[in-house]
A and B are shown apart, each in its own frame.
Chain A
């Protein structure tokens, strides 16, 4: 009996020591000092090989670029695949596989002229036939299911010559051009899911499920100026943010995307970082089709009760940009400024609005949050606290992200929820979410004027007029309080000293071809 007690005591002590050991700042400084040496050793070895190791928090969902839906997977595999066009840091489209393009006067026909001598990783040449194959597959033109709803607009795609592709659309769609950053795959190659082949700056080497994805330099990359400087990239799958910070501290990781301010403080001056808006819209969506959120006054009252600055300060450590509509200022050209200050916190006014709506005594609402995202869970707690001031009781319900996709995103079975919409290059993709008959409009926002504006904008080919229409649409979202738009959280990427060249893009993407390892 005594033995068991002693054993148990030891276990408890061990747990306790573990907690203390992990958390004591002096202890971590010690290890930091020690690891600096081993880091230097590693630097030498990684310098010769030119290897960059990047921590990624989510597992790869599919190596096939057409079957993958996860943003993180896309940002990793983007290095293996190139599209006809690409984007620069400002969201401007730049040539990639296509040297130039022309749009017909009626706006329905796009002609792409491909660069000469573009090679796939298997050594075959990329021609117009591969582009036709890729687009036909995406748009379901060969009788199959369309793999991407965004390519359903394509009526036909033809190869005029080995280096000339003509894409015809069913109707004018000004958002189509930005979709041409999609991966081009070799014709009739069926093993993308196990051994992906593209024409990008890096070649696929190996993928160990749940562990790492290895890419190597593509020596024959067509864009000579942008041939990678490093030899190899290793994406390490590390779901736990704490352990990836510790790994970076121990010199096992060179680049850590999406690091928190706490993590950055912990790493101190062993790293440098880039940080900025990531073109995301974090919002609390309210199901506009259920009571009491079908009443615009209730939605406005909720907007008036929330102090977004407090959320930014507490949840994002001040690293975020306040939003007032479903668009981030990162989309400079299309963003309507000023909307973020439309609903300043005003408890009195919020109460009045609830009173008018007949809900002066308040109500209880269910707030569904995907438990995988601590950021959203934390936001939910602040919102719950602030809404209690206008007698709204919030029941937070955490669910798995997969159930969230099923219940909330696909079937709109919820009252309110918190989520972040990741950035897109074209404002249409961002704003179409609120169009009445859009399949994934889980906010159930209905507004005829809005639908009209979006329809008009997508047909508009003049950039300035298009922007004006999108700005008007954003104003409607704010006026109608379609949701509680919270912030665009900054994305911070930490790099080990000596690793340079990474830039921020309006979509999640790593420009690894520009990365250098020195020292």
Chain B
């Protein structure tokens, strides 16, 4: 078992390479895009992909490649922030519920159940329509949306690890709850959390694309893949590359993180 080679896990390889390429693209876009993503050139509308415009231009004559690059920033920002919010609160709730048990567990899990009963995207749409559209509220909504899954995973991890002898030993030694949670239990539940993080990341990216497609997420003219997909829709027959390329990038991103999470899970299944 020890000889298990990470390079033998095909999903992991594909996942890592997709994510790496996208990350590099995002990092590069921070400093350089071939054209300004919002610059319009009405004389060069819906141009086909060529050497001057790698992915062609959209209906305003904006360079699609630059917008896809810029859009990756949005995707990463939303994914990262939403996961952070979800992880932070999800961990707090899950850890308390799993470690203390009893009525705290009951109460918090019933709240989480109630949250899970609402389909995530509907919940996000509701939040956004009550407050305002925009990137901040999108992040908050998606963050809240991902709390339940984190809470559940952390809780079950904690319940499992809590019963191990070394935890009982440190309780007997008089260690505080805080110390036990973070020093003794947390290191033993990192891998399921890692899986949840990658999964939730791709979920958030997809949800943001969905919300922006509905006009509720990121506001124009800032590029977001979901909104680009919507803007490309009327030109499906005249400029098919616009909709295909944008859709492909959403697919790469979501697929990349999903495969990454499957890869990590496979690794850890084999380890145990």
| A residues with CB within 8 A of B | 1, 4-5, 8-9, 12, 15-16, 19-20, 22-25, 28, 241-242, 260, 262-263, 265-266, 310, 313-314, 371, 374, 377-378, 380-382, 384-385, 395-400
B192 within 8 A of A: no
Q: Contact: B219 with A398, CB < 8 Å?
A: yes
User: Would you list which residues of chain B between 210 and 251 have a CB under 8 Å from chain A?
Assistant: 215-216, 219-221, 231, 233-238, 240, 243-244, 247-248, 251
Q: Which residues of the partner chain A approach B42 to less than 8 Å between Cβ atoms?
A: 310, 313-314
Offer 27 A-B interface pairs, CB within 8 angstroms, sorted by A.
A1-B266, A1-B269, A4-B262, A5-B258, A12-B251, A15-B247, A15-B251, A19-B247, A22-B243, A23-B240, A25-B237, A241-B234, A262-B234, A262-B238, A265-B237, A265-B238, A310-B40, A314-B42, A314-B61, A381-B60, A381-B220, A384-B38, A384-B220, A396-B220, A397-B132, A397-B219, A399-B133
Q: Which residues of the partner chain B approach A377 to less than 8 Å between Cβ atoms?
A: 215, 220
- Rounded to whole angstroms, the CA-CA distance of A175 and B11 in the bound complex is 72
Q: Which residues of the partner chain B approach A395 to less than 8 Å between Cβ atoms?
A: 219
B162 within 8 A of A: no
Number of A-B contacts (CB under 8 A): 96
B59 within 8 A of A: yes
Q: Contact: A397 with B133, CB < 8 Å?
A: yes
B25 within 8 A of A: no
Q: Which residues of the partner chain A approach B255 to less than 8 Å between Cβ atoms?
A: 9, 12
Say whether, besides A381-B220, A397-B133, A400-B129, A266 and B244 are in contact (CB < 8 Å): no
Q: Which of A8, A23, A265, A399 contacts B244 (CB 8 A)?
A: A23
* 8 other A-B residue contacts (CB within 8 Å) besides A5-B259, A378-B231: A16-B248, A242-B234, A265-B237, A310-B40, A381-B221, A384-B38, A397-B132, A398-B215
Q: Which residues of the partner chain A approach B248 to less than 8 Å between Cβ atoms?
A: 16
Q: Contact: A396 with B219, CB < 8 Å?
A: yes
1/0 per position for B17-28, CB-CB distance to A under 8 A?
A: 000000000000
Q: Contact: A25 with B240, CB < 8 Å?
A: yes
B254 within 8 A of A: yes
Mostly, the A contact residues are: helix
Q: Which residues of the partner chain B approach A262 to less than 8 Å between Cβ atoms?
A: 234-235, 237-238
Q: Which residues of the partner chain A approach B237 to less than 8 Å between Cβ atoms?
A: 23, 25, 28, 262, 265-266
Q: Which residues of the partner chain B approach A22 to less than 8 Å between Cβ atoms?
A: 236, 243
Q: Contact: A382 with B60, CB < 8 Å?
A: yes
By beta carbon, the residue of chain A nearest B236 is A23
Q: Which of B40, B219, B262 contacts A1 (CB 8 A)?
A: B262
B205 → chain A, closest Cβ, in Å? 13
| B residues with CB within 8 A of A | 11, 38-40, 42, 45, 59-61, 129, 132-134, 215-216, 219-221, 231, 233-238, 240, 243-244, 247-248, 251, 254-255, 258-259, 262, 265-266, 269
- Rounded to whole angstroms, the CA-CA distance of A371 and B38 in the bound complex is 20
Q: Which residues of the partner chain B approach A4 to less than 8 Å between Cβ atoms?
A: 262
Q: Contact: B221 with A385, CB < 8 Å?
A: yes
- Rounded to whole angstroms, the CA-CA distance of A20 and B247 in the bound complex is 9
Q: Contact: A1 with B221, CB < 8 Å?
A: no
By beta carbon, the residue of chain B nearest A403 is B129
Q: Which of B39, B233, B258, B269 contacts A242 (CB 8 A)?
A: B233
- Rounded to whole angstroms, the CA-CA distance of A18 and B78 in the bound complex is 26
Q: Which residues of the partner chain B approach A241 to less than 8 Å between Cβ atoms?
A: 234
Q: Which of A1, A265, A266 contacts B265 (CB 8 A)?
A: A1
Q: Contact: B247 with A16, CB < 8 Å?
A: yes
Q: Which residues of the partner chain B approach A380 to less than 8 Å between Cβ atoms?
A: 220
B224 → chain A, closest Cβ, in Å? 12
B213 → chain A, closest Cβ, in Å? 12
